[in-house]
Amino acid sequence: MREFVTAAMKNDFKEGQGKVVEIKGKKIALFLHEGKFYAIDNACKHMGGPLGEGELENENIVCPWHGWKFSIKTGVSPVNPTVKVEIYNVKIEDNEIKIEV
């Protein structure tokens, strides 16, 4: 059963920043973009690169290993829409960022 789990504190993030968090054995990349938090699977579909360590280009995270891109809003690659990483629901309670896993 999926549940919301505290992943990080809201005041630990700056606009455009990403971090990797681990919840229930899953590595999840968490981003603050345009005032909203987004969570996606940390592993790039290409070769497993750490998406949470990549750079944001608008709403797309760029994998630091080979440059693959994925939307942090939908998980879909803008280059190849058949390739997608998992996205997670995020909610804020007080200062806590919670991710549904």
Q: Which domains, ranges and CATH numbers included, belong to the chain?
A: 4-100 (2.102.10.10)
Q: What is the pLDDT of residue 86?
A: 98
Distances (CA, A) of 94 to 10, 36, 50, 88: 9, 14, 29, 19
Across residues 78-93, what is the average pLDDT? Answer: 97
Q: What is the pLDDT of residue 39?
A: 99
Tokens 């440059």 — which residue? 67
Across residues 77-83, what is the average pLDDT? Answer: 96
Tokens 């608008």 — which residue? 58
Residue whose C-alpha is closest to residue 52's, from 12, 6, 65? 65
Residues ≥6 apart with Cβ < 8 Å to 33: 15, 16, 56, 59, 72
Q: What is the pLDDT of residue 21?
A: 98
Predicted TM-score (pTM) of this structure: 0.94
Question: What secondary structure letter does DSSP report for 34?
Answer: T
Q: Give 19-31 pLDDT, tens digit per residue.
A: 999 999 999 999 9
Q: What is the pLDDT of residue 74?
A: 98
Across residues 2-20, what is the average pLDDT? Answer: 95
